[in-house]
Amino acid sequence: MPENNKGALATLLAFFMWGIFPIYWKFLSTVPAMEILAYRIFFSGLSMLALVFILKKSKEALAAWQTVKNSRQKLFCVTAGAALISVNWFTFIWAVNAGRILDSSLGYYINPLVSVGIGVLFLGEKLSRPHRIAVMLATAGVGYMTIQFGDLPWVALSLALSYAFYGLCKKLAGLDAISGMLIETLITAPFAASYLFFLYNSGAATPLSGATFAFLSTTGIVTVIPLILFAYGANRLPLSIIGLCQYITPTMSLLIGVFLYHEPFSYVQLISFALIWCGLAIFSLPQIIALREKWRLEKKT
């Protein structure tokens, strides 16, 4: 199989796995979100250590840690990134088990547009006209929902902002995917382990059946696998294709929320989502045009 086809398959599998995460977390709905998060961080740390050992990436990981340790900026970015992804994970887990999968879907739809805004504010990037229109439509969608419901869609905004700023931290840290993820999880794993120890020592831990503990013990694996697949695909595909593929995840979450768990989808949400979808279509149009032009040139050659 050609490398670009392998990259496409890996990327699609990664976004598909992220898309069905609501089903996975629903199996753990009897466990509080903070407790699930602690298990996920702890087992992700173990999984990353195992992965680095299996792939023989220890030297690269140690070199990355030395770079981080010797740079205050990188250390701050990695630490902030670890905190932000923890907030993102907690919010998503809580939203799924609180029956708010649609809110999480909205968050990941607007995330690319929030990332564009962050790029403008913090990296001095310029907004093209399509990007400006897309951001305006997304803002209108969120604003309409806020006015109609009388409350900010805080779940969606928390997910979008935490992940967008996490992306900024990753960009500024400049580490490879495996080393970066390993260092992030090792920073937060001691806190997760301490929290779990406190729960068990105080008798406040949730009683777990064998099946529930089995699911909790695999949270690290299901966290690491799509990240590795995504990293593999990102190294073999143009960013424009990856940018278009990222909408698979919130679309699957939306469909799962509506059709599998029967969450209400009101006309207010429909209008808000429609505005955001229009914005994303305009946002993606230059990427689609560029891809078509690239394919046309490749056919000629």
The alpha carbon of residue 250 and the mean position of all alpha carbons in its chain are separated, in whole angstroms, by 10
Say how many C-beta atoms besides its own lie within 10 A of residue 301's C-beta: 4
Q: What is the pLDDT of residues 17-32, one digit of tens each?
A: 999 999 999 999 999 9
Is-contact 205 213, C-beta < 8 A?
A: no
Is the pLDDT at 156 greater than 70? The verdict is: yes
Half-sphere exposure in the Cβ direction for 31 (13 Å, CA): 28
Spatial separation of the C-alpha atoms in residues 225 and 210, rounded to whole Å: 23
- The whole-number pLDDT of residue 133 equals 87
Per DSSP, the residues of 171-234 read HHHT--HHHHHHHHHHHHHHHHHHHHHHHHHHT-SPP--HHHHHHHHTHHHHHHHHHHHHHHHH
For residue 170 the two structure tokens come to 């990753």
Rg of the chain over Cα atoms, rounded to whole angstroms, equals: 20
Q: What is the pLDDT of residues 201-244, one digit of tens each?
A: 999 999 999 889 999 999 999 998 888 888 777 767 766 677 77
